[in-house]
Amino acid sequence: MQLSLPLTVAAAALTNTVLARDFIPRPNIQAGPIQPYKAFAEFSPRSKTCFVKPSCTEGRDDTPKILAAMHECNDGGTTVLDSEYNVCSPMDLRFLKHVDIALTGTLNFCDDGDHWLPLLFTYDYQFSAAQWVIGGEDVNIYGAGVGTLNGNGQNWYDRFNSNRTLIRPILLLTDGLHGGSITGLKMRNSAKWHSLIANSTSYEAKNLDGWDTYRSDNIVIQNSWVDDDDDCVSFKPNSTNIIVQGLTCFGSHGISVGSLGQYPLSYDIVENVYIYNNTLNGAADSARIKVWPGAETDFQPDLGGGGGAGYVRNITYDGFYGTNNDNAIKIDQCYGEKNATRCAEFPSKMFIGDIVFKNFAITTNTKNAPRAGDLICSGPGTCENIRAENITITVPGDEEQYWDCRNADESLLDLGGRGCVPA
């Protein structure tokens, strides 16, 4: 979304910055219409400004200048990145406190994989990595609809085709961010996921694409436009008190809880998530919950797993719209296991309960027609209180739509059409 905002004039604070000039101030972001589970803290005033001048030499690394500006304007300032910058070395921004970043230019991440691989910030979960990490307290990053993160991912894609275990960087990763917002950015050519919110609290994300949350609490994601080939939003382990609203997603795997239960020694929780008024077109799944079975299984070379425990509880999908989707709703408690007998033999240790799907108007495509979706629980007692109401699904052809169901209480599922059939 393009923001039209008044301009503010401020003096430059660094010798390596340009002279004073106009910049767009931080927008006033309000969550809505669904409000956060917990109130966000007020932002503190900003009293100094640092404009970062890019290097004149083509291809030169601008990371040292950017880091210098971040330190200079930390604790009460605004760092302005309004030109083209090359990021060719790691940036650890977890020291930030009471600072705004006006990213109305472009950060181009250098594409030399051999250079980057030993320098990446790495995380245990699903081989996650990043070239820069943002954290701290009261940090607001805004792009006014023009700021761009360019991951230059093609070189990473080419390498991944011949090495499926290649560690690739996430384009935007927050780690330990407590209070703040990210708004109005464009994200292009990511080498892996576009973004991951990890170990963060009280944080609003707006006008961005392709979101994952991990070990984070009190997050609002709203008004995003997403065009990708994986999850539009994914709630990964230990994501709680999250609002997702007003998203438009194209070609995705849907708005997904999970995957969870991948690691046998981990206890995963996703709880208190409200997903409201979203549109998904051309999606593999619209609303999706995916957890691994109770024993390890091979799925992909870089993504085997199963046997982990935990629970998914109090998740509401309210107001889902879209066309040309493969499935309208999918619950998969045997994620990564195609053998139904083995799934029943080793039911998931991830309990799923208190789930609501309501107010759906989805048109599916011919891929699975007239089946509209799946509600598969791996064993008796592994799912409880899963409800569906006011579900309108249009399938192609003359046959009446139906749903594959297993170990679900059909009396709580007003799915329309023929309803559930045994899977």
As annotated, the active-site residues are 253
Amino acid at 118: P
Both structure tokens of 359:
């107010």
Residue 293 burial by CB count (10 A; 0-12/13-18/19+): exposed, middle or buried? buried
Rounded CA separation 217/234 (Å): 14
Strands (E), 246-325: 248-250, 255-260, 267-281, 285-291, 309-325
Q: Report the 10 Å Cβ neighbour count for 138.
A: 22
Using alpha carbons only, what angle is made at residue 304 by residues 299 and 306, rounded to the nearest 5 degrees?
105
Q: Which string of b and e fits 230-259 if b means at least 16 CB within 10 Å?
A: bbbbbbbbbbbbbbbbbbbbbbbbbbbbbb
Rounded CA separation 299/336 (Å): 5
Rounded CA separation 290/184 (Å): 30
Both structure tokens of 228:
């990708």
CB of 263 closer than 8 Å to CB of 308: yes
Tell me 367's DSSP state. Answer: S
CB of 208 closer than 8 Å to CB of 149: no
Closest CA to 151 of 90, 212, 109: 109
Using alpha carbons only, what angle is made at residue 4 by residues 102 and 222, rounded to the nearest 5 degrees?
70
Q: Which helix (H) or strand (E) holds 357?
A: strand 349-364
